[in-house]
Structures are given as C-alpha cells and as structure tokens.
Amino acid sequence: MNPSEDSYGNRSEGAAFPEASPHADGPLVVVVDDHEDSVGVVVYVLESIQCRHISMDSGAGLLEALRSIRPDVILLDILLPDINGLDLIDLIRREFSNLQIPIIAVTALSSAQDRHAIAQKGFTDCLIKPFDLSLLRQKLQNYLYQHQSSFFPISANCSAP
C-alpha cells in the first residue's frame, strides 16, 4: 500500500480523512476521478483557494468515505471504472438521504442528451472536460460559500466548453 493511500486504495492528496471538524483548516472537497492528470489539475485549483482535499479513483471509495466524513463539495467524474457516476449519485442519494452536499459532475460527455441526463439525476452542476480553471475556481467558491450557509440544488447548470 502506498503511504498516500488508505486501505481501500484511495489516494489522499493534501489531507487525511478529517477526524473532528471538516472545517477546521478550510473546506473539504472530495475529488472522485480515475485520471491522475485530471485530479492534478483540480488539486491545483483547490490548493489555490485553501481547500483541503481527498482524491479517490472509485465510486466504492466515495461510498465508504461518506460513512465517516462530510465534505463541503464532491467533484464526481461520470465515467469511473467501477460504476457510472449517474448510477453512483442514485446510490448516494438513497444511502445518504440526509446529505445536502453539492455534487458537481466532471465529465468529457458533452452532448445535450448527456447534459440533460446529468441534470435529471440531481447533480448540482457539471463541468465539461476540458474546462477552464477559472470556471472551476468560480464554481467551487460559489458552492462552498453557499453550502456554508444553506444549500439549494441548482440542477440545470451544465457548462459546455
């Protein structure tokens, strides 16, 4: 096992699973993506806005993590090796029905039909790869501030490149 991985093989970048308050050192963002390059770009932006972050490459890892942590935002790739993100959000909403965390889809799927399916599944927002770093930064800051007061889903905001 790599020292930066937990027992499930999930990569932890910049922070371990928090034990006490998830807001102690800044907002916590979970990044679920199996492409290390994509994770690296997102982590760069997260660090620039002083966010703690945990990255993992599987839906199973996210479900396990949500049993012990409450992130402020989840960035979820749609095309994961173990489960489709559209199915994963259904599992999250069913297993963690009281969870009011913004979940932003991050995907290369860019057709109008794909964007509609993402919005219909209840994602808060989506980013189409490749995305502009300033757009990611802006969306994260908006949802982090919104989530700290009260969160209301905005399901139809799917930004095309």
What's the distance, CA 132 to chain centroid?
17
Residue type, 157: N
Write out the chain's pLDDT in tens, 161 residues: 443 444 334 444 433 443 323 335 789 999 999 999 999 999 999 999 999 999 999 999 999 999 999 999 999 999 999 999 999 999 999 999 988 999 999 999 999 999 999 999 999 999 999 999 999 999 999 999 876 644 334 343 455 44
74 phi, psi to nearest 5 deg: -120, 130
- Rounded Cα distance between 49 and 26, Å, is 9
In terms of pTM, does the model score above 0.85?
A: no
- Name the DSSP class of 18: P
Q: Quickly tell me which residue has 């979940």 as its tokens.
A: 103
The length of the chain is: 161
